[in-house]
Amino acid sequence: MSALTSSLQFSASPYRIVGVGNAGVNFLDHLLLNNPFFLGLVALNNDLDALTSSVVPMQLALPPEQELLAALEEVLPRFEAEIQGASVILFCAGLGGETASTLLPHLAAAAKKAKKLTLACVTQPFSFEGKRAQSLAAEAASSLKQICDGVVILDNNQVASSGASKAGLGETFTASDEAMQVFLPNMVAMLSSKGPVRINRSHLLKALSRAGEKNYFGYGQASGSNRLHEAVERLFKSPQLQGGRVLAKCSAIFMQLRGPKDLSFAEAQAAMQEVERVVGEESDIQLSVSAEEPAGAALQIFILAVEEKEEKKEIIPNVEKISASIPKKSEPSEPSPAAPVPKASIAELPLDLLELNLPEEPVEFQKSAASKPVTKVKQTQGALNFTAAQRGRFDKSEPTIVEGEDLDTPTYLRLGLKLI
Amino acid sequence: MAREQLFVGLEIGTTKICVVVSESLPDGSIHILGVGETPSRGVRKGEIIDFSSVSECVREAIIDAEEKSNVEIRSVWVAISGAHLQSFNNRGTLILPEDHNAINDEDLRMVEMNAKEVILPPSNAFLHTIIQNYHVDGNKNVINPEGMMGSRLDADFHIVHGVKTRIQNTLRCLENMKLDIEDVVMNSLASAQVVLTQHQKDLGALVVDIGGGTTDFIVYVDGAVRHSGVLALGGDHITNDISIGLRLPIVRAELLKIEEGCALSPERSLGGKINLKNDPGFSGCEIDRNAFDTVVHARMNEILHLLKREVERGCHLDLLGAGVMLTGGCARLKGVATLTKEIFQLPVQVTTMDNLSGPTSMFENPQYSTAIGLTKYANAVYSQIPEETFFSKITNTLGGLFGRK
């Protein structure tokens, strides 16, 4: 997994990636360990032991869970100081825990109030974490959707299902960390793409801000003469994409192709054709191409797809419950999730937020990642891909995709027929 | 080897590589002299994935055919398949000058060139340009306009194209064996030569060749090819599904499919258990027939529904008066004709090959229809075209493919 993001170069930090809670800080640690040049990371946690062992340079220690809301008045100004100077705030956290689920909507509201482009990338808890965690996560996700410009929710259960059924608990959590480790840098790169072919940020935000949507992403990279084909093949083997099947039902697909300077027009064209072949030509695919990676870097392809679900029943955010416990504010203008900051339409966003101009000079580290005692994360062998395992003898052959379905997978499995 | 009389057809299939040596008889029929065959290695879904293995298999099949037919093979007609093959219909138009006497061979060639003036994907090359019918000054369905007077000549063609490098890879396997390649023919077109009569082509018929890795089809309406294509699905998929669903080794799953496979719905299943005996490396077991039938039926049903949809893209099923002809190895699967009939709502038959003589076991088996069809196709081409014209045509076809004249 280290190779996935190691070639990324981020020369500036017009954005902040804010990890909240244990999971959020874990995501940032993984990110930084694999790419020490990653800037603009902020860790917020009330687990002081975890925070001390974190390699994230900017840290904000939070009070214990029971005092969290009471101490908001103290926490928020410190947080606002950390995000000063940035124009994009990307929150990452694992919902379901008390810290992230409670605090994240407040932090997002503060960022939004400071006129930052506010995005959240959060994971839903594993089903074995219990109903309370699920309920907390649902409430927090709902609040975030109302506050943020865009929310990406990754389903941990889906990530876990791609692994072996007997995978250890640690491996399962690592899979979730790794998924985020792929997602975050690619999301940032997508937001700050500068090439001649780039994704319209307002379209991206519009897609991510739709209520009731479900997000999927996939990633593949490869080098060598057949790099594009191999990268696309790996992309569709990403656990969330299920061989590309899910893309067929997505209303918006954002694809990012990055590579060294020798990335050719034909490769970009072929990438589009390969993806169109799977998802259907009528699909709304937006492409961003960047050939600014260092020479010899792998060709990387990343897809973020948004499925617009039919809303059965809108979850009413229980922000009252959260706000009830907040101490009375002396000033009525204090931000509060109870009265979420009205989401500015994309057209109302300041121009500099929609078209970021990244400074050319790298920003210095506030705290060197190397100065921390780095606990080396054990790299484990990837679990066998579920979809690939079900293709049997066709595992290594070109898939037969019709309308997003991989027909090499046994028909009875795709139809859900039970063999008694 | 007398070119005028002996023809060799080579099919590099996913399951087997087959070489048929036949000779043409004065009555237009062909006599099979021998068939060489070897199990295929290195082919998936009709396309080569292991070049050296395939070359070796082709060599073995050629030697086998030479021994059985007592003929030294120097040139072959090659069948080709794979999902990369695509087709469309296009019309070419030629405005003839006022002082033009009569439509001649050159005009026919020009109108064909006009029909081929379409933009193919850069990686693709033309494989076939098959005439459907000519129109002379609005007079439709002219079979042969040569010698006719007219001011405007239109011609409808069925054009087949595929990825150039994939076609070349098939042919390169033969280069090391110093074999001349007479021509490359799409699988289904070759099969149709032996499984359809001219009457059936006139009535309208669909030929479905369900092989190991692919399902090839060709549609004839009013005696001409209307539609053709390849699905990258075949008997191997059934075997794979059985192997995964019933947890059997591939080899055992293949054997079970051949011996007990039935395409009919599991509701019509005989029920009970199928006893699999011990084999070296496989400890016997009992499997539930209902589960087995579910797996086979689900896949076969899917293939046929996809096929129906694909055929309907090019032609209305009501035009297929002669119905559906099933051929290829999977046509031998029990119940496949009944299932096809239910899906297509057309008369269906598993084909036998007419107008042939030789070892009967060969032409009664539908899995040899492509290789035998190749020799019949060759015979038809030879009998219609004068020798010098024919050779120039072949040179042009292959020259274009390999980039040499």
> pLDDT tens for residues B127-151?
999 999 999 988 887 888 989 988 8
**Residue A337 confidence (pLDDT):** 46
Percent of chain B with pLDDT over 90: 54
Which residue in B306, B299, B294, B296 sits closest to B344, CA to CA? B306
Token code pair at residue B332: 């031998």
For A169, counting Cβ atoms within 10 Å of its Cβ (0-12 exposed, 13-18 middle, 19+ buried), the class is exposed
Is 90 exceeded by the pLDDT of residue B296? Answer: yes
Q: How confident is the model over B162-168, as a mean pLDDT? A: 90
Q: For B300, which residue in chain A has the nearest alpha carbon? A: A411
Q: pLDDT-based confidence at A367, cuts 50/70/90? A: very low
Residues B205 and B148 in one domain: no
Residues B202 and B342 in one domain: yes
Q: Which residues of A touch B301 (CB under 8 A)?
A: 411
**Residue A192 confidence (pLDDT):** 75
Residues B149 and B235 in one domain: no
B347 within some domain: yes
CATH number at residue B341: 3.30.420.40
Match 């998802």 to its residue by tokens. A279
Percent of chain A with pLDDT over 90: 0
B325 within some domain: yes
**Residue B128 confidence (pLDDT):** 93
At the top level of CATH, the class of A1-197+332-389 is alpha beta
Residues B133 and B207 in one domain: no
Q: pLDDT-based confidence at A341, cuts 50/70/90? A: very low
CATH number at residue B150: 3.30.1490.110
Q: How confident is the model over A360-386, as a mean pLDDT? A: 46
- C-alpha to C-alpha distance for B328 and B233, rounded to whole angstroms: 13
Residues B106 and B151 in one domain: yes
Domain range enclosing B101: 86-161
Match 């392809």 to its residue by tokens. A301
Query: Does any CB of chain B come closer than 8 Å to the CB of residue A265?
Result: no
Return the H-helix or E-strand segment holding B164: helix B164-175
Query: Does any CB of chain B come closer than 8 Å to the CB of residue A420?
Result: yes
**Count of A-B CB contacts under 8 Å:** 66
Q: How confident is the model over A118-134, as a mean pLDDT? A: 82
Q: Which of A372-381, A397-406, B103-112, B113-122 has the lowest mean pLDDT?
A: A372-381
- C-alpha to C-alpha distance for B134 and B228, rounded to whole angstroms: 20
Q: pLDDT-based confidence at A378, cuts 50/70/90? A: low
Which residue in B19, B23, B18 sits closest to B7, CA to CA? B23
Do B233 and A397 lie within an 8 Å CB cutoff? no
Q: Which of A248-262, A305-319, A334-348, B95-109 has the lowest mean pLDDT?
A: A334-348
Would strands B285-288 and B273-276 be described as parallel, antiparallel, or unpaired? antiparallel
Q: pLDDT-based confidence at A288, cuts 50/70/90? A: confident
Q: pLDDT-based confidence at B352, cuts 50/70/90? A: low
- C-alpha to C-alpha distance for A316 and A17, rounded to whole angstroms: 27
| pLDDT per residue as tens digits for the range B68-101 | 999 999 899 999 999 999 999 999 999 988 887 7
Q: Which residues of A touch B236 (CB under 8 A)?
A: 393-394
Q: Which of A230-244, A336-350, B337-351 has the lowest mean pLDDT?
A: A336-350
Most confident of B144-148, B268-272, B276-280: B144-148
B298 within some domain: yes
Q: pLDDT-based confidence at B402, cuts 50/70/90? A: very low
B287 within some domain: yes
Q: Which residues of B touch A419 (CB under 8 A)?
A: 245-246, 288, 291, 294-295
- Counting the structural domains of chain B, the total is 2
Do A410 and B232 lie within an 8 Å CB cutoff? no
Average pLDDT of chain B to the nearest whole number: 86
B174 within some domain: no
B57 within some domain: no
Residues B287 and B219 in one domain: yes
Do B245 and A420 lie within an 8 Å CB cutoff? no
B62 within some domain: no
Which residues have CB under 8 Å from A209's CB, separation 6+?
A145, A148, A149, A150, A151, A343
Q: Who among A390, A398, A420 is closest to B291 (CB)?
A: A420
Domain boundary residue among B115, B145, B161?
B161
**Residue B362 confidence (pLDDT):** 58
Q: pLDDT-based confidence at A3, cuts 50/70/90? A: very low
Q: How confident is the model over A360-367, as a mean pLDDT? A: 40
B328 within some domain: yes
Residues B324 and B235 in one domain: yes
Residues B240 and B294 in one domain: yes
Q: Which residues of A touch B294 (CB under 8 A)?
A: 412, 417, 419
Return the H-helix or E-strand segment holding B91: strand B86-95
Helix then strand then coil, % of chain A, to nearest 5: 40, 20, 40
Q: How confident is the model over B290-303, as a mean pLDDT? A: 95
**Residue B38 confidence (pLDDT):** 94
Residues B150 and B204 in one domain: no
For B403, counting Cβ atoms within 10 Å of its Cβ (0-12 exposed, 13-18 middle, 19+ buried), the class is exposed
Residues B138 and B216 in one domain: no
**Residue A282 confidence (pLDDT):** 67
Q: pLDDT-based confidence at B28, cuts 50/70/90? A: confident
Q: How confident is the model over B271-285, as a mean pLDDT? A: 82
Q: How confident is the model over B280-284, as a mean pLDDT? A: 77
Q: pLDDT-based confidence at B221, cuts 50/70/90? A: very high
**Residue B304 confidence (pLDDT):** 96
Q: pLDDT-based confidence at B269, cuts 50/70/90? A: confident
Q: What ipTM was reported for this prediction?
A: 0.84
**Contact yes or no for B3/B371 (Cβ under 8 A):** no
Q: Who among B288, B298, B306 is closest to A412 (CB)?
A: B298
Match 């040596």 to its residue by tokens. B21
Q: How confident is the model over A266-290, as a mean pLDDT? A: 78
Residue ranges of the domains in chain A? 1-197+332-389, 391-415
Is 70 exceeded by the pLDDT of residue A332? Answer: no
Return the H-helix or E-strand segment holding B217: strand B215-221
Interface test with B, best of A393, A401, A409 (most B CBs within 10 A): A393
Q: For B236, which residue in chain A has the nearest alpha carbon? A: A393
**Residue A349 confidence (pLDDT):** 45
Average pLDDT of chain A to the nearest whole number: 72
